Structure 1
Amino acid sequence: MPAHAATADTAAPEVAAISLSRESITVAATDVQLLTVDVRLTDDVGVAEVDDSAGGHTPFLLFGSRGVAVSLVLGTGTAQDGVWTGVVAVTSDWAAREQPVRVVAQDDAGNVLDVDPRTVIETPAVAVRSSHTPVVELTVTPDPVYPNGAVTQTVRVIDRDTGRPWPDLPIVLAGDNACPEDVFGTANARTDSNGRYQRVLPAGELHQELMCAWVPAANVPGQRSTRIGGDTAFARYKFLVRATPAAPSVPAGVNVDVNGQVVPAIQGKVVLLQRLSGSEWRTVGRGVTRASSRFTVVATPPGVGVWSYRVYAPGDEQHAGSMSPTFTIRGT
């Protein structure tokens, strides 16, 4: 047995220094200015360059208040002590002063560095002077909308400096997974002469809840298009409630089943039977949806005459509350 057993490496890489190719940048409208970032990383066994389908590329750096991802590749030196380089596209919607906010790297032993460099080294910043930034506003109507109902998306783009509408401007409309900041897209729409674009997503299908719009920056050779002035909106859906009494009239004080269904399908959803009393709706019964999303509640006309009812499905984290159309039961 050797006198000194080998000790497993447990130390993560360290960030020793960061430098930027420029101290200040001027950028306007949809133009792009490129900024080179150099990060000196050290590690006893060597920093590893990894491309993983789940975790992405390491090492990488996040730059600025929006956390723009910058992939790093070894430029000079060695894996044990080298300068790793990346290029970030600076657009006109950047803040006036931005700097690296996160560095992630791993070594050949699997140790991971994940640090805000501002906490361990003097971290440089770039001053950004911008003008004529496109400001994007995305709205979705109606709000809320019934499942499978038509949804209208409206995009409005103005010039931040002048407040004027921005006509004939390419924009990207996307949804769900295409909305995070690190995902890129190709223009699929264009504003009209009033700086607006509108489209209707037709009825008959459940549309994506998270929707987004942004202006693609001007293409730069060797760089993917990035986004400027993005906005997001949610298509909030509300329950669709149907309810029908088993009989249109019964003797006063006699129970009558009210059968219905809640869409989208949900089991165990509490629904409330409400009766109009004067000008107020009062809860007079409740039921729970079955696996089929159907329910049965019991109505009891309290006296002779025509009584108005409805069934209300309260909202939850994913859907707004909604009620069925009003129906009547006559007490005889």
Structure 2
Amino acid sequence: MRLRSIAALLVAPLAALALTAPAANAAPDPDLTVTAARILRTTPVAVSSLNTVPVTVEVDAKYTWQEADRNTTLYAFLERTAGSGQVDTLFTTPLKLYAGTARDGSWRGVVNVPSTANGKFALTGVKVGRFGPGDMMDPSPVPGTHPTVTVVGSNLPKITARVIPDPVPYGKGYSIRWSVINGQTGKPYGTRLKVWLANDNGCAEQFGGPIYLTDTNGYVTKAYAASTTEYLNCLQLPGDPAPIGALGFFVNRLPRAVVVSATPSKTSAPVGTIVPVNGTVSGAPSYCPVKLQRLYGATAWRTVGTANVRLSGRYTVNAQPAYRGVIPYRVFFPACSNFKAGVSRTFSIRGT
């Protein structure tokens, strides 16, 4: 899947991916009502580097769905309320029923707290099922004062990336040399680290990807095909159930040359008549502008009409002969996104 809305940026700086809860898509599950929630930890959680500390979470809930049974699972959200860590939302592993029934019982599980959280988190909502992008319901809210946990993180991982070559020529593949080191000391962790390397949906709509191992200096290099140059690339640090850190970005690309064609629907028309001019821009740079230009004097081209390239790569601009005689025109495509500027051949419309 192409991330067209994001890919429109085309050249984006390296940026930490926001590891947050999926965006709200629907109302909370009407069958799930949370009556109480607890975090069984009253003291701050001290955690360092790539480690995690399990903290027990309990939820009292009523689940009235007709097929609810003891195998039903829930998971809970903990959202940042203070601090500035790399992770804004924590997810529990699937909660298991430990008392009562699925229709009115108590559930227990753990949140594996990473150092990258480094702040204060509140238990705000619960969903049915296992954590994953396929769950489209909003969380059922935790009532009353939300229980909280404070995370004190140290030796947080620092993720960087080097693209080779940079920028990437059009139609060519590239490599990314990823690095994961101790952000506090500026040195490697000294062991081979497991990382997820993904692109496209694997970065933006779900967690996880093929597992790679860094070397002991924290480096891992992956080659990417030319077909992925418009996609988001990312490295994620594996966690359970979600990553504990990530970096994602689009590669810089050299602009692509275009070929602009332009054909008037008529080669002569009465003065003042609108004459559609149809054409294409190779590469289909949709939504980029084209400019119909008319020659003034010997060398001055002036814009007399504009339009946008359609998804098909085609466009239509309107010429309007201003006087009797042969009038030279051309269509100019200004540099747009990762496409170079281009211009059509000159054509003429005779005003009569």
Q: Considering the TM-score relative to the shorter chain, is it more than 0.5?
A: yes
Out of 216, 230, 250, which is 2:246 matched to?
A: 230
Gaps of 5+ in 2: 1-29, 81-87, 130-136, 264-276, 320-327, 347-352
Per-residue deviation at 1:174?
Answer: 0.6
Per-residue deviation at 1:213?
Answer: 1.0
Per-residue deviation at 1:14?
Answer: 3.4
2:176 maps to what in 1?
A: 153
2-side partners of 1:41 and 1:113: how far apart? 16
Show CA shifts across 1:130-181 (max 9, x none). 2211121346688886764434434333322123355654432111222258
CA contact (8 A) 1:179 1:212 kept: yes
CA contact (8 A) 2:79 2:123 kept: yes
Report the residue type matching 1:59 in the other structure. L
Per-residue deviation at 1:206?
Answer: 4.7
Query: CA 1:35–1:181 in 2, change beyond 3 Å: closer, same or farther?
Result: farther
Per-residue deviation at 1:244?
Answer: 6.5
State whether structure 2 residue 124 is matched by structure 1 residue 101: yes
Q: CA RMSD in A?
A: 5.0
Greater displacement, 32-41 / 10-19:
10-19
1-side partners of 2:183 and 2:109: how far apart? 30
Show CA shifts across 1:271-323 (max 9, x none). 2256999xx98646656657863568899xxxxxxx9x8832575xxxx2633
Show CA shifts across 1:103-127 (max 9, x none). 2359xxxxx994442xx23333223
| More strand per residue | 1
Out of 328, 335, 340, which is 1:323 matched to?
A: 340
2:195 maps to what in 1?
A: 171
2-side partners of 1:282 and 1:157: how far apart? 53
Rg: which structure is higher? 1
Query: CA 1:43–1:265 in 2, change beyond 3 Å: closer, same or farther?
Result: closer
Query: CA 1:128–1:289 in 2, change beyond 3 Å: closer, same or farther?
Result: closer
Per-residue deviation at 1:62?
Answer: 0.8
TM-score, normalised relative to structure 2: 0.59
1:312 maps to what in 2?
A: 333
| Residue aligned with 2:282, SS | strand
User: Number of matched residues?
Assistant: 282
2:153 maps to what in 1?
A: 130
CA contact (8 A) 1:148 1:206 kept: no
CA contact (8 A) 2:193 2:214 kept: yes
State whether structure 2 residue 45 is matched by structure 1 residue 28: no
2-side partners of 1:226 and 1:105: how far apart? 17
CA contact (8 A) 1:43 1:80 kept: yes
CA contact (8 A) 1:166 1:191 kept: no
Show CA shifts across 1:73-99 (max 9, x none). 211122343211122212121123223
State whether structure 2 residue 291 is matched by structure 1 residue 272: yes
